[in-house]
Structure 1
Protein backbone atom coordinates (compact mmCIF):
# COMPACT_ATOMS: atom_id res chain seq x y z
CA UNK A 1 0.00 0.00 0.00
CA UNK A 2 2.92 2.33 0.77
CA UNK A 3 4.45 1.69 -2.67
CA UNK A 4 1.10 2.57 -4.26
CA UNK A 5 1.00 5.84 -2.30
CA UNK A 6 4.57 6.63 -3.44
CA UNK A 7 3.57 5.97 -7.08
CA UNK A 8 0.55 8.18 -6.61
CA UNK A 9 2.60 11.05 -5.17
CA UNK A 10 5.18 10.84 -7.97
CA UNK A 11 2.56 10.65 -10.72
CA UNK A 12 0.59 13.54 -9.25
CA UNK A 13 3.74 15.67 -8.86
CA UNK A 14 4.90 15.03 -12.42
CA UNK A 15 1.35 15.57 -13.74
CA UNK A 16 1.08 18.93 -11.95
CA UNK A 17 4.47 20.02 -13.29
CA UNK A 18 3.46 19.00 -16.84
CA UNK A 19 0.14 20.84 -16.66
CA UNK A 20 1.65 24.00 -15.14
CA UNK A 21 4.45 24.08 -17.72
CA UNK A 22 1.92 23.42 -20.49
CA UNK A 23 -0.25 26.34 -19.37
CA UNK A 24 2.80 28.63 -19.14
CA UNK A 25 3.88 27.70 -22.68
CA UNK A 26 0.38 28.29 -24.10
CA UNK A 27 0.01 31.68 -22.36
CA UNK A 28 3.56 32.86 -23.16
CA UNK A 29 4.59 31.13 -26.40
CA UNK A 30 7.26 33.76 -27.05
CA UNK A 31 9.45 32.38 -24.28
CA UNK A 32 12.98 31.89 -25.52
CA UNK A 33 13.66 28.41 -26.84
CA UNK A 34 16.67 28.21 -24.53
CA UNK A 35 14.35 28.61 -21.52
CA UNK A 36 12.07 25.95 -22.99
CA UNK A 37 15.14 23.68 -23.29
CA UNK A 38 15.91 24.15 -19.60
CA UNK A 39 12.32 23.38 -18.64
CA UNK A 40 12.33 20.40 -20.97
CA UNK A 41 15.60 19.16 -19.45
CA UNK A 42 14.33 19.46 -15.88
CA UNK A 43 11.00 17.80 -16.70
CA UNK A 44 12.70 14.99 -18.62
CA UNK A 45 15.16 14.31 -15.78
CA UNK A 46 12.29 14.24 -13.27
CA UNK A 47 10.30 11.92 -15.49
CA UNK A 48 13.32 9.64 -15.94
CA UNK A 49 13.82 9.43 -12.18
CA UNK A 50 10.13 8.55 -11.68
CA UNK A 51 10.32 5.81 -14.35
CA UNK A 52 13.47 4.33 -12.79
CA UNK A 53 11.85 4.45 -9.35
CA UNK A 54 8.80 2.64 -10.76
CA UNK A 55 10.96 -0.01 -12.38
CA UNK A 56 12.97 -0.78 -9.24
CA UNK A 57 9.86 -0.68 -7.00
CA UNK A 58 7.84 -3.36 -8.77
CA UNK A 59 8.14 -7.11 -8.25
CA UNK A 60 10.95 -8.72 -10.23
CA UNK A 61 8.61 -11.04 -12.14
CA UNK A 62 6.76 -8.06 -13.65
CA UNK A 63 9.91 -6.17 -14.74
CA UNK A 64 10.15 -8.16 -17.97
CA UNK A 65 6.96 -6.55 -19.23
CA UNK A 66 7.83 -2.97 -18.27
CA UNK A 67 9.43 -0.28 -20.39
CA UNK A 68 10.14 1.87 -17.33
CA UNK A 69 13.89 1.11 -17.16
CA UNK A 70 14.49 1.93 -20.84
CA UNK A 71 12.30 5.04 -20.76
CA UNK A 72 13.88 6.19 -17.48
CA UNK A 73 17.45 5.91 -18.82
CA UNK A 74 16.58 7.57 -22.15
CA UNK A 75 14.80 10.45 -20.39
CA UNK A 76 17.66 10.97 -17.92
CA UNK A 77 20.22 11.10 -20.74
CA UNK A 78 18.10 13.54 -22.81
CA UNK A 79 17.32 15.68 -19.78
CA UNK A 80 20.95 16.00 -18.67
CA UNK A 81 22.05 16.74 -22.24
CA UNK A 82 19.34 19.43 -22.59
CA UNK A 83 20.55 21.12 -19.41
CA UNK A 84 24.22 20.90 -20.41
CA UNK A 85 23.87 21.89 -24.10
CA UNK A 86 20.65 23.93 -24.54
CA UNK A 87 21.73 25.52 -27.85
CA UNK A 88 22.27 22.14 -29.52
CA UNK A 89 19.03 20.78 -28.09
CA UNK A 90 17.12 23.87 -29.29
CA UNK A 91 17.98 22.95 -32.88
CA UNK A 92 16.63 19.41 -32.52
CA UNK A 93 14.03 19.98 -29.77
CA UNK A 94 10.94 19.49 -31.96
CA UNK A 95 12.14 16.03 -33.02
CA UNK A 96 13.15 15.11 -29.45
CA UNK A 97 9.77 16.21 -28.09
CA UNK A 98 7.98 14.28 -30.85
CA UNK A 99 9.88 11.09 -29.96
CA UNK A 100 9.32 11.72 -26.24
CA UNK A 101 5.56 12.09 -26.69
CA UNK A 102 5.39 8.98 -28.87
CA UNK A 103 7.18 6.99 -26.16
CA UNK A 104 4.89 8.49 -23.54
CA UNK A 105 1.83 7.65 -25.65
CA UNK A 106 2.92 4.00 -25.93
CA UNK A 107 3.15 3.77 -22.13
CA UNK A 108 -0.20 5.54 -21.70
CA UNK A 109 -1.86 3.21 -24.21
CA UNK A 110 -0.40 0.26 -22.30
CA UNK A 111 -1.83 1.73 -19.07
CA UNK A 112 -5.23 2.28 -20.70
CA UNK A 113 -5.34 -1.34 -21.87
CA UNK A 114 -4.33 -2.39 -18.36
CA UNK A 115 -7.26 -0.37 -17.00
CA UNK A 116 -9.53 -2.18 -19.48
CA UNK A 117 -8.28 -5.57 -18.27
CA UNK A 118 -8.84 -4.39 -14.70
CA UNK A 119 -12.50 -3.75 -15.48
CA UNK A 120 -12.47 0.06 -15.35
CA UNK A 121 -15.47 1.52 -17.15
CA UNK A 122 -13.70 4.70 -18.26
CA UNK A 123 -10.54 3.06 -19.64
CA UNK A 124 -11.32 4.46 -23.08
CA UNK A 125 -10.87 8.04 -21.81
CA UNK A 126 -7.22 7.32 -21.00
CA UNK A 127 -6.88 5.61 -24.41
CA UNK A 128 -8.30 8.62 -26.30
CA UNK A 129 -5.95 11.05 -24.50
CA UNK A 130 -3.03 8.69 -25.18
CA UNK A 131 -3.85 8.57 -28.89
CA UNK A 132 -4.06 12.39 -28.96
CA UNK A 133 -0.60 12.61 -27.36
CA UNK A 134 0.67 10.16 -30.02
CA UNK A 135 -0.88 12.24 -32.84
CA UNK A 136 0.73 15.42 -31.49
CA UNK A 137 4.07 13.60 -31.26
CA UNK A 138 3.75 12.47 -34.88
CA UNK A 139 2.89 16.04 -35.97
CA UNK A 140 6.06 17.29 -34.31
CA UNK A 141 8.09 14.67 -36.19
CA UNK A 142 6.44 15.42 -39.55
CA UNK A 143 6.91 19.20 -39.36
CA UNK A 144 9.66 19.79 -36.77
CA UNK A 145 10.71 23.22 -37.99
CA UNK A 146 7.36 24.99 -38.30
CA UNK A 147 6.66 28.33 -36.68
CA UNK A 148 8.29 28.52 -33.25
CA UNK A 149 5.24 29.97 -31.49
CA UNK A 150 3.10 27.15 -32.84
CA UNK A 151 5.71 24.63 -31.75
CA UNK A 152 5.79 26.03 -28.20
CA UNK A 153 1.96 25.99 -28.02
CA UNK A 154 1.88 22.38 -29.29
CA UNK A 155 4.38 21.39 -26.59
CA UNK A 156 2.12 23.10 -24.02
CA UNK A 157 -0.94 21.21 -25.28
CA UNK A 158 0.99 17.92 -25.23
CA UNK A 159 2.17 18.52 -21.67
CA UNK A 160 -1.36 19.35 -20.48
CA UNK A 161 -2.81 16.27 -22.25
CA UNK A 162 -0.09 14.06 -20.82
CA UNK A 163 -0.55 15.42 -17.30
CA UNK A 164 -4.32 14.97 -17.56
CA UNK A 165 -3.90 11.36 -18.74
CA UNK A 166 -1.62 10.61 -15.78
CA UNK A 167 -4.11 12.19 -13.36
CA UNK A 168 -6.91 10.08 -14.83
CA UNK A 169 -4.91 6.85 -14.49
CA UNK A 170 -4.03 7.65 -10.87
CA UNK A 171 -7.67 8.46 -10.12
CA UNK A 172 -8.92 5.19 -11.65
CA UNK A 173 -6.36 3.04 -9.85
CA UNK A 174 -6.92 4.85 -6.52
CA UNK A 175 -10.67 4.39 -6.84
CA UNK A 176 -10.28 0.66 -7.50
CA UNK A 177 -7.86 0.23 -4.58
CA UNK A 178 -10.33 1.98 -2.25
CA UNK A 179 -13.11 -0.32 -3.48
CA UNK A 180 -10.96 -3.39 -2.80
CA UNK A 181 -9.94 -2.04 0.61
CA UNK A 182 -13.57 -1.38 1.51
CA UNK A 183 -14.57 -4.87 0.35
CA UNK A 184 -11.68 -6.36 2.35
CA UNK A 185 -12.78 -4.49 5.49
CA UNK A 186 -16.36 -5.75 5.09
CA UNK A 187 -15.09 -9.34 4.65
CA UNK A 188 -12.89 -9.01 7.75
CA UNK A 189 -15.83 -7.64 9.77
CA UNK A 190 -17.99 -10.57 8.64
CA UNK A 191 -15.29 -13.09 9.56
CA UNK A 192 -14.72 -11.51 12.97
CA UNK A 193 -18.41 -11.74 13.92
Structure 2
Protein backbone atom coordinates (compact mmCIF):
# COMPACT_ATOMS: atom_id res chain seq x y z
CA UNK A 1 0.00 0.00 0.00
CA UNK A 2 1.40 3.42 -0.97
CA UNK A 3 2.10 6.19 1.52
CA UNK A 4 -0.80 8.28 0.19
CA UNK A 5 -3.22 5.37 0.62
CA UNK A 6 -1.87 4.67 4.09
CA UNK A 7 -2.34 8.33 4.99
CA UNK A 8 -5.93 8.36 3.71
CA UNK A 9 -6.69 5.08 5.49
CA UNK A 10 -5.25 6.41 8.76
CA UNK A 11 -7.24 9.62 8.42
CA UNK A 12 -10.44 7.67 7.79
CA UNK A 13 -9.84 5.53 10.89
CA UNK A 14 -9.11 8.62 13.02
CA UNK A 15 -12.31 10.27 11.81
CA UNK A 16 -14.31 7.11 12.57
CA UNK A 17 -12.85 6.91 16.10
CA UNK A 18 -13.59 10.59 16.80
CA UNK A 19 -17.16 10.14 15.52
CA UNK A 20 -17.65 7.06 17.70
CA UNK A 21 -16.40 8.87 20.81
CA UNK A 22 -18.66 11.84 20.02
CA UNK A 23 -21.63 9.46 19.72
CA UNK A 24 -20.84 7.96 23.13
CA UNK A 25 -20.54 11.35 24.86
CA UNK A 26 -23.68 12.75 23.22
CA UNK A 27 -25.55 9.53 23.95
CA UNK A 28 -24.81 9.64 27.69
CA UNK A 29 -25.78 13.33 27.84
CA UNK A 30 -29.09 12.50 26.11
CA UNK A 31 -29.73 9.63 28.54
CA UNK A 32 -29.15 11.62 31.73
CA UNK A 33 -30.40 15.05 30.59
CA UNK A 34 -33.05 14.36 27.89
CA UNK A 35 -35.15 17.50 28.50
CA UNK A 36 -32.19 19.86 28.62
CA UNK A 37 -30.66 18.30 25.52
CA UNK A 38 -33.89 18.70 23.57
CA UNK A 39 -34.17 22.40 24.33
CA UNK A 40 -30.42 22.96 23.93
CA UNK A 41 -30.45 21.38 20.47
CA UNK A 42 -33.39 23.56 19.45
CA UNK A 43 -31.68 26.76 20.64
CA UNK A 44 -28.38 25.71 19.06
CA UNK A 45 -29.98 25.09 15.68
CA UNK A 46 -31.99 28.29 15.92
CA UNK A 47 -28.93 30.33 16.88
CA UNK A 48 -26.82 28.80 14.11
CA UNK A 49 -29.47 29.55 11.47
CA UNK A 50 -29.88 33.11 12.72
CA UNK A 51 -26.14 33.80 12.63
CA UNK A 52 -25.83 32.21 9.19
CA UNK A 53 -28.76 34.23 7.86
CA UNK A 54 -27.45 37.52 9.26
CA UNK A 55 -24.01 36.77 7.82
CA UNK A 56 -25.52 36.31 4.35
CA UNK A 57 -27.52 39.55 4.68
CA UNK A 58 -24.45 41.50 5.79
CA UNK A 59 -22.43 40.00 2.93
CA UNK A 60 -25.14 40.96 0.44
CA UNK A 61 -25.42 44.58 1.56
CA UNK A 62 -21.69 45.18 2.05
CA UNK A 63 -20.42 43.43 -1.07
CA UNK A 64 -19.19 45.76 -3.80
CA UNK A 65 -19.54 43.09 -6.48
CA UNK A 66 -22.68 42.56 -8.53
CA UNK A 67 -25.08 40.12 -6.93
CA UNK A 68 -28.22 38.32 -8.07
CA UNK A 69 -29.76 38.50 -4.63
CA UNK A 70 -29.09 34.87 -3.73
CA UNK A 71 -27.34 35.88 -0.49
CA UNK A 72 -30.27 38.10 0.45
CA UNK A 73 -32.86 35.35 -0.15
CA UNK A 74 -30.85 32.77 1.81
CA UNK A 75 -30.15 35.34 4.54
CA UNK A 76 -33.81 36.29 4.98
CA UNK A 77 -34.98 32.66 4.97
CA UNK A 78 -32.29 31.43 7.37
CA UNK A 79 -32.79 34.35 9.75
CA UNK A 80 -36.57 33.91 9.75
CA UNK A 81 -36.33 30.19 10.49
CA UNK A 82 -33.63 30.79 13.10
CA UNK A 83 -35.68 33.37 14.99
CA UNK A 84 -38.78 31.16 14.77
CA UNK A 85 -36.85 28.22 16.24
CA UNK A 86 -35.53 30.42 19.06
CA UNK A 87 -39.02 31.67 19.87
CA UNK A 88 -40.69 28.25 19.56
CA UNK A 89 -38.04 25.56 20.17
CA UNK A 90 -40.62 22.79 20.69
CA UNK A 91 -41.73 23.13 17.07
CA UNK A 92 -38.50 21.66 15.73
CA UNK A 93 -38.07 18.73 18.08
CA UNK A 94 -39.52 16.43 15.41
CA UNK A 95 -37.00 17.79 12.90
CA UNK A 96 -34.12 17.18 15.31
CA UNK A 97 -35.30 13.62 15.93
CA UNK A 98 -35.40 13.10 12.16
CA UNK A 99 -31.84 14.40 11.76
CA UNK A 100 -30.54 12.19 14.58
CA UNK A 101 -32.47 9.25 13.15
CA UNK A 102 -30.87 9.73 9.73
CA UNK A 103 -27.40 9.90 11.31
CA UNK A 104 -28.08 6.65 13.18
CA UNK A 105 -29.30 4.97 9.98
CA UNK A 106 -26.15 6.01 8.11
CA UNK A 107 -23.86 4.84 10.91
CA UNK A 108 -25.74 1.55 11.37
CA UNK A 109 -25.48 0.91 7.63
CA UNK A 110 -21.70 1.32 7.92
CA UNK A 111 -21.73 -1.12 10.86
CA UNK A 112 -23.60 -3.65 8.71
CA UNK A 113 -20.89 -3.33 6.07
CA UNK A 114 -18.24 -3.84 8.76
CA UNK A 115 -20.07 -6.93 10.05
CA UNK A 116 -19.72 -8.50 6.60
CA UNK A 117 -16.02 -7.67 6.76
CA UNK A 118 -15.89 -9.64 10.01
CA UNK A 119 -17.63 -12.52 8.23
CA UNK A 120 -14.99 -12.47 5.51
CA UNK A 121 -12.31 -12.69 8.25
CA UNK A 122 -14.00 -15.80 9.64
CA UNK A 123 -15.34 -14.22 12.87
CA UNK A 124 -17.93 -16.62 14.30
CA UNK A 125 -20.40 -14.15 15.80
CA UNK A 126 -20.36 -11.53 13.04
CA UNK A 127 -24.13 -11.87 12.68
CA UNK A 128 -24.78 -10.36 16.12
CA UNK A 129 -23.51 -6.96 14.97
CA UNK A 130 -25.52 -7.33 11.76
CA UNK A 131 -28.80 -8.13 13.56
CA UNK A 132 -28.43 -5.38 16.19
CA UNK A 133 -27.51 -2.78 13.54
CA UNK A 134 -30.52 -3.81 11.43
CA UNK A 135 -32.84 -3.49 14.45
CA UNK A 136 -31.44 -0.03 15.23
CA UNK A 137 -32.10 1.04 11.63
CA UNK A 138 -35.72 -0.10 12.00
CA UNK A 139 -36.00 1.84 15.27
CA UNK A 140 -34.48 4.99 13.73
CA UNK A 141 -36.90 4.82 10.80
CA UNK A 142 -39.78 4.47 13.28
CA UNK A 143 -38.68 7.57 15.21
CA UNK A 144 -38.56 9.56 11.96
CA UNK A 145 -42.03 8.46 10.83
CA UNK A 146 -43.70 8.51 14.27
CA UNK A 147 -41.76 11.00 16.42
CA UNK A 148 -44.62 11.42 18.91
CA UNK A 149 -45.08 7.71 19.52
CA UNK A 150 -42.22 7.46 22.02
CA UNK A 151 -43.13 10.77 23.70
CA UNK A 152 -40.83 11.58 26.62
CA UNK A 153 -38.57 8.53 26.33
CA UNK A 154 -37.57 9.06 22.70
CA UNK A 155 -34.51 11.14 23.61
CA UNK A 156 -33.33 8.52 26.12
CA UNK A 157 -33.78 5.73 23.57
CA UNK A 158 -31.88 7.73 20.96
CA UNK A 159 -29.15 8.33 23.54
CA UNK A 160 -28.85 4.59 24.20
CA UNK A 161 -28.71 3.96 20.46
CA UNK A 162 -25.94 6.56 20.06
CA UNK A 163 -23.91 5.02 22.90
CA UNK A 164 -24.26 1.60 21.29
CA UNK A 165 -23.28 2.98 17.89
CA UNK A 166 -20.17 4.57 19.38
CA UNK A 167 -19.08 1.46 21.29
CA UNK A 168 -19.95 -0.81 18.36
CA UNK A 169 -18.00 1.39 15.96
CA UNK A 170 -14.88 1.35 18.16
CA UNK A 171 -15.14 -2.42 18.65
CA UNK A 172 -15.57 -3.15 14.95
CA UNK A 173 -12.69 -0.84 13.99
CA UNK A 174 -10.39 -2.55 16.50
CA UNK A 175 -11.49 -6.07 15.45
CA UNK A 176 -11.15 -5.38 11.73
CA UNK A 177 -7.74 -3.79 12.32
CA UNK A 178 -6.60 -6.84 14.28
CA UNK A 179 -7.68 -9.35 11.63
CA UNK A 180 -6.40 -7.19 8.76
CA UNK A 181 -2.98 -6.97 10.45
CA UNK A 182 -3.00 -10.72 11.08
CA UNK A 183 -3.79 -11.47 7.43
CA UNK A 184 -1.13 -9.01 6.29
CA UNK A 185 1.51 -10.66 8.51
CA UNK A 186 0.57 -14.13 7.24
CA UNK A 187 0.80 -12.89 3.64
CA UNK A 188 4.27 -11.44 4.27
CA UNK A 189 5.42 -14.74 5.81
CA UNK A 190 4.22 -16.64 2.74
CA UNK A 191 6.08 -14.24 0.46
CA UNK A 192 9.30 -14.45 2.48
CA UNK A 193 9.43 -18.25 2.92
CA UNK A 194 10.23 -19.20 -0.74
CA UNK A 195 13.13 -16.73 -0.80
CA UNK A 196 14.60 -18.24 2.37
CA UNK A 197 14.32 -21.75 0.95
CA UNK A 198 16.02 -20.65 -2.21
CA UNK A 199 18.88 -19.08 -0.22
CA UNK A 200 19.39 -22.28 1.83
CA UNK A 201 19.77 -24.30 -1.38
Shorter chain as normaliser: what TM range? Answer: 0.5 to 0.7
- Distance in 1, matches of 2:44 and 2:177, equals 29
Deviation at 1:160, TM superposition (A): 1.1
Counterpart position of 1:153:
156
CA contact (8 A) 1:133 1:161 kept: no
- Counterpart of 2:104 (choices 96, 101, 106) is 101
- Select which of 176, 180, 183 maps to 1:180: 183
Per-residue deviation, 1:159: 0.6
- Per the TM alignment, residue 192 of structure 1 is displaced from its structure 2 partner at its CA by 5.0
| Correspondence for 1:11 among 16, 31, 55 | 16
Check conservation: 1:24, 1:156, Cα contact below 8 A.
yes
Aligned match of 1:167 in 164, 170, 174? 170
- In the alignment, which residue of structure 2 is the partner of 1:47? none
Q: Name the structure 2 match of 1:144.
A: 147
- Alpha-carbon distance, 1:13 to partner: 1.0
Gap change, CA 1:121 and 1:7, over 3 Å in 2: farther
TM-score, normalising length: structure 2 = 0.61
Paired with 1:151 and 1:39, the residues of 2 have a C-alpha distance of 19
**Structure 2 residue runs without a partner (length 5+):** 1-5, 46-77, 197-201
Describe the SS at the equivalent of 1:31.
helix
- The structure that has the greater radius of gyration is 2
Distance 1:32 1:164 in 2: 21
Question: What is the distance in 1 between the residues matched to 2:113 and 2:124?
Answer: 16
Partner of residue 29 from structure 1, selected from 23, 26, 34: 34
Cα distance in 2 for partners of 1:109, 1:180 equals 21
The answer on whether the counterparts of 1:94 and 1:140 sit within 8 Å (CA) in structure 2 is yes
Asked if the contact 2:117/2:176 (under 8 Å) is kept, the reply is: no
**Where in structure 2 are the equivalents of 1:40-79 lying within 5 Å?**
none
> Is it true that 1:126 corresponds to 2:129 in the alignment?
yes
Matched residue pairs, number? 152
CA RMSD of aligned residues (A): 3.1
Q: Distance in 2 between matches of 1:39 and 1:116?
A: 41
Query: Tell me, what secondary structure is at the counterpart of 1:144?
Result: coil
